[in-house]
Structure 1
Amino acid sequence: MLALPLLWALIARAHLELAATARDESHRNVQNLSHAFAEEVRSTVTTIDLSLSQLRLSWLRHPDHFTQVVDELNEHLHGQLKINVLVTDARGIVQFASSGKFSRPVDLSDRPHIRAQLDSAGRDRLVMGQPLRERISGLWMVHFTRPIHREDGTLAGVMAATVAPAHFSRFYRNIDLGANASIALVRTDGVIVARTSRSREAHDSGSTLAGAPYTPDSPPYGVFHRISRVDGIERYYGWRSLPEYGLVVTVGQAVEDAQARYAGQRSLMVAIGCAVSLLLAAGGWIALTAADSRRHAVAALAAAEG
């Protein structure tokens, strides 16, 4: 019967090894996918930034033909990216909006992504705002802005490009990490730009996450294990940062889904352990019964001879 504890100790050790194997495989998968997701985001943001640079030149030179310029830009993107364009003057008052007409002046000077450019003091940098509901279209959008400078360096206004948060969630369709996988695009201040998981209809844009890796001083990439602060699901996460844009991408696989790959092997080992245990127990009972029968036979023989 001493074999039973040894048997189950070996099964328990095999379970731990399978769990570690599943964890390691998940870490490799989420890290590789986070790298691919980061490259897709980098490509998108670079396209938006180059578009802003070209659009502001067109606005300064040919404002009367700007609608045509914006339409041609979206045609050249072949539907892979839909950019809505908005232009303000140096006070933050909207002068052009491709997403819809407006019947009265719209002041966006209080919007952080606009205000950052109005207060830029001659600096030329890309600003990515948090997802906000547009005052003209009423849609939730992610905003990218650059200042418009005249030839003498004075501020002429702000050029803004807006993209639906769902655009950054398209990558989710390209991964297969189980029913509870998730992806997220997060600014380094913790604001969620876009997030998608199969179990949630809302994408949580605009919510805030705290701590690593959503801080400027976090390493450029890595993995971590955490219960999601958004939906409460325990996951293995891979992350990769885009420091040039102040962004972090994450790809998560639910621990339950990662471990499910080896569930069959674990169940098989338990079944084998139970079967062997029953055989050992039956063998032990037969041995004890035989030994008891021998003792009785010996005792009876001794009594007969006496």
Structure 2
Amino acid sequence: MTFEIGDTANLQSASQKTSIQSSEQRNRGLIWAIVAGLVGWMFIALVVAFMARAAWDDLAVGVQSTASTVSRVLAEYSDQMLISADLVRQQAGRIVGDAGPLVVDRSAYEELRKIIDISPDLVSVWIGDAEGQAVLTTREFPAPDLSGSARDYYLSIRDDPDHLYVGNLIDNRYPAEALLINTSRRLSDPNGDMRGFVQVSIDPAPIRELFRKVNIGFDSSLWWIGPVGRPLIREPFLPAAELDESAPPRFDNSTEASFDGSVSRPAFYGISGVDGEERLFFWSDAPIYGSRIIIGVSYDAMVKRLTMQMVPTVALGSAVGLSLTVILWLLYRARSKGLNYAAHLESKVRERTRELDRSVEQKDLILQELEHRVRNAFSTILALTRQMMRSSDTLEAFRREFPARLQALANTHLMLVGAQSRGVASIADLAQTALAPYDIPPTQIVITGPPVELSSERALGVGLILHELVTNSVKYGSLSADGGLVSVQWDIEAGDVHLLWREAGGPPVNGPEKQGSGTGIIDRAVAMFGGSIDRRFDPGGVEVDIIIPLR
């Protein structure tokens, strides 16, 4: 197949048209890859956002359920404490008498002490007269000279026989009382006149301890708000003097809010008066006395928890996105390379077509070279066969050794063919080919020398020699031992290659008692390329010096 000279213009025009089309296709491919990448990243972002929203809702529902349950349980427990206080007040009223002067002798003191001792949540009882003067207390006997006439626990109940005072005593003769919750009710005689009052101090430690054991997390806090809206305690601890100014925002039961706008329990957003953080407050009201237990949860702490939970998901999404980007880029690059290769291939086809006629002319020359090589190969095989038949002691020895040597010859020929049919091979490649069948660790082999290419006749001979040396070393020499070492070194001197085979680290070397078939093959191979060989059987290892003429 040939082209006419008149077709040159058409070929150039077709080449330009192909180049333009290839460029346009590459641009379209790039746009497609960018759009697909953006769509993929948007989809990944939506999936991650959806998963984040679902995780946030689960987290919010869990916190809401736990905080609401805890607040309800603690609210009911606060009712039990106040009920216990009222029961003690009834007992105290019975002890001091229902009418007439208050009984405040030692027997009354001892009876009150017994009641307090069996009440785990109650700490002390104070009884005052109608003017607010303390007349009996479980703290000490007789009662100290103290007046509560100006105190809230007296003023708030003086004119209301049914009112229950619940609050804190910040300024007190007994510092421990400031850590307690003080409750007070009026004592009235049968006709309704005020006889005095009974104050019972409650220890809020059980409520604090229960809250700490639940461990809601998220930097949560507890507030106990009294029946009239006065803060009584906070956990973590806050001094009573700071409770009013740091209390949660005021709200009523109609105020409800949550993360998703719908809740089953009251919740309220607000800023903490303690640390200024945004918090979500959950509360429950005690069913009997109306105290309110509020659980505050840090919004920032919940966001941090969600962030930690979403790190693997975001990392996975990023990895998927990056993988998608890489895949799209590789697809684009592959398509671009395909287009470039197609254009290049088309150009090469046109070029190769013009060279086809010249290639046909080389056919006869190649056939002649092939005939020459086949003839040489058969001559070498015949010589090898004759040599082994003379040197082999038995037919079994011939059968065992001949295939290996024939395979070495075949490997050398294959290597020559692989060297782009130039009929030459490098010494390094010959050495590697001889060593390859034995899978020898690289630490046991040293191959050094300048680049040297041998003609086919010399390569066949050197390949056979190296095969025999490697075989003997593996069987008897240094390569038969774990620590053995073989060094193949060569250099060029005066137009000849000086190749040195040296072994070390193997079993002690003894000279051969008689010449074997391998020695004869090596001598025959040396004679093939007109070289020379010198063998030295040192106890530390065999050394073989080979001279290979290059001319």
| TM-score, structure 2 as length reference | 0.49
Q: Which residue of 134, 150, 160 corresponds with 2:189?
A: 150
- Residue 125 in structure 1 maps to residue 163 in structure 2: yes
1:118-167: CA deviations, max 9, x gaps? 223xx233222x21225331330322111112234321111111224545
> Contact 1:91 / 1:118 at 8 angstroms: preserved in 2?
no
Match of 1:114 in 2: 154
Change (3 A) 1:147 1:253: same
- Residue 67 in structure 1 maps to residue 104 in structure 2: no
Match of 1:84 in 2: 124
Query: What amino acid sits opposite 1:42 in the alignment?
Result: D
Deviation at 1:186, TM superposition (A): 0.7
1:33-64: CA deviations, max 9, x gaps? 11111111111111001111221221126421
Deviation at 1:202, TM superposition (A): 4.5
> Contact 2:255 / 2:266 at 8 angstroms: preserved in 1?
no
Change (3 A) 1:157 1:246: same
Deviation at 1:302, TM superposition (A): 4.3
State the distance in 1 between where 2:130 and 2:238 align: 39
Change (3 A) 1:218 1:124: farther
1:4-34: CA deviations, max 9, x gaps? 2111211111111111111111111111111
Query: What amino acid sits opposite 1:83 in the alignment?
Result: V
Query: What amino acid sits opposite 1:192 in the alignment?
Result: P
State the distance in 1 between where 2:314 and 2:255 align: 42
> More displaced, 246-255 or 12-21?
246-255
Structure having the larger proportion of residues in helix: 2
Query: What amino acid sits opposite 1:56 in the alignment?
Result: G
Change (3 A) 1:104 1:22: closer
Deviation at 1:218, TM superposition (A): 6.9
Q: Structure with the greater relative contact order (CA < 8 A, sep ≥ 6): 1 or 2?
A: 1
Aligned to 1:67, what secondary structure does the other structure show?
helix
Change (3 A) 1:179 1:27: closer
Match of 2:283 in 1: 239
Q: CA RMSD in A?
A: 2.9
State the distance in 2 between where 1:201 and 1:186 align: 14
Query: What amino acid sits opposite 1:66 in the alignment?
Result: A
- Between the aligned residues of both structures, percent identity stands at 18
> Contact 2:135 / 2:143 at 8 angstroms: preserved in 1?
no
1:176-219: CA deviations, max 9, x gaps? 2116121110135542101103xx56575444444214x8x879
Match of 1:37 in 2: 74
State the distance in 2 between where 1:3 and 1:209 align: 46
Match of 1:292 in 2: 336
Query: Considering only CA atoms, is the larger Rg found in Structure 1 or Structure 2?
Result: 2
Query: What amino acid sits opposite 1:115 in the alignment?
Result: L
State the distance in 1 between where 2:112 and 2:154 align: 20
Change (3 A) 1:295 1:102: farther
Change (3 A) 1:290 1:218: closer
1:205-250: CA deviations, max 9, x gaps? 444444214x8x879x622343322233443332111264242111
Change (3 A) 1:117 1:261: same
| Residue correspondences, number | 297
What does residue range 179-194 of structure 1 map to in structure 2 within 5 Å?
180-187=219-226, 189-194=228-233
Aligned to 1:96, what secondary structure does the other structure show?
strand
- Residue 49 in structure 1 maps to residue 86 in structure 2: yes
- Residue 15 in structure 1 maps to residue 52 in structure 2: yes
Unaligned runs of 5+ in 1: none
> Contact 2:227 / 2:289 at 8 angstroms: preserved in 1?
no
Unaligned runs of 5+ in 2: 1-36, 257-264, 352-551
Change (3 A) 1:11 1:218: closer
| TM-score, structure 1 as length reference | 0.84
